[in-house]
Amino acid sequence: MNKKSTLIIGDIVIIAIVTVIGFVTHDEFALQFLPRMAAMFFPLVAAWLVLALWVGLFEAQAGFKRQLLWQIPLAVIFAVPLAFIVRGLILSGMPVVPIVAVVFIAITAIALIIWRYVHFLFLKK
C-alpha cells in the first residue's frame, strides 16, 4: 500500500471515529441512528476527499510540514458545513445547529492533524 492510499484510508477512519464519537456523546449510538450517522459520514468523506485533493493534502511529502497545520483546518472548515447541509437535505430539512458544526470542525481538524503527525512519525522510523 502506498503513502497516498494510507493517508486516504487513515483520513476516512478518523472521520468515522469522530462521527461515531459525536453520536455517542449525544446518546445516539444505536441501530436506529445508523441512517443519521451515514447521512453525516458519507457526505463528509466525499467533501473531505475532494477538498483534500484540491488543497494537495495527499501529495507526496518529505515530512510533516507546517503548512498542514493550516491546510487541514481550511479543508475541514469547508467540508463540514457542506456535509451538514447535505445531511439536512437527506434527512428532510433537518436544521444545522451552528455550534455543533463549529465543534465538529474543531474536533475533526484536530483529529486529522494528530493522525497525520502519527503517520509521519511511523514513516520516519
Residue among 20, 34, 26, 39 at smallest CA distance from 91: 39
Residue predicted with more confidence, 36 or 79: 79
Domain ranges of the chain: 3-124
Which residue in 115, 53, 43 sits closest to 80, CA to CA? Answer: 43
Residue 2 backbone dihedrals phi, psi, to 5 degrees: -85, 175
This prediction has a pTM of: 0.89
Q: Is 101:79 a contact under the CB 8 Å cutoff?
A: no
pLDDT at residue 63 greater than cutoff 60: no
Segment 87-116 shows an average pLDDT of 90
The grid coordinates of residue 42 equal 458519507
Statement: residue 108 has pLDDT above 60: yes
